[in-house]
Amino acid sequence: MPGHRIYIINSLSLIPPLQRQIKTIAFAPIEAQAAATVMGVGPAGNAIIGSEKMFDHDSYLSTFVPSTHPALSPGSGLDELNGAAIRQISNSVGDLILNGPTTVDLFSWVRRELFMATTESIYGPKNPFRDATLVEAW
């Protein structure tokens, strides 16, 4: 980040006190900017994410990680997500085997399969990314 100071914390004991300084040392503005520029969030979404209330306890950015943490913590939720992703990749490999010898662009194939495995495991039967145009846009 040109023009900005970057500090590296390499002591585990300093991380918890640093994380309590959410208004002084904040990642939320970077997340809001990334949502606006990288992820294509529209004006209504930017108004929610990047509002001046981004540091409030009930803001989108302060609740997003805690709301996803239970599903991504070790246990049955994460096991189910991993299982669904593995089944998706296994089915895709099975399709390749059934079609006989095939040449694929390895990078494109892996990229698409990881994308589909991730979105299928998260969204399940209502996965909006089954639409080929959305896959290509990603």
Looking at 70, 99, 126, the residue that finishes a domain is: 70
Same domain as 89, residue 111: yes
> Where is pLDDT greater, at 104 or 71?
104
The pLDDT tens digits of the residues spanning 60-86 come to 777 776 777 777 788 888 898 899 999
Give the pLDDT band (50/70/90) at residue 123. confident
By residue range, what is the domain housing residue 84? Answer: 74-138
Domain count, the chain: 2
The alpha carbon torsion through 36, 38, 40, 45 (nearest 10 deg) reads -30
Same domain as 136, residue 80: yes
Burial class (CB in 10 A: 0-12, 13-18, 19+), 113: middle
Q: CA angle, 27 as apex, 55 and 63 as ends, to 5°?
A: 50
Q: What integer pLDDT is reported at residue 52 of this predicted model?
A: 67
Same domain as 65, residue 2: yes
What is this structure's pTM? Answer: 0.55
Same domain as 18, residue 41: yes
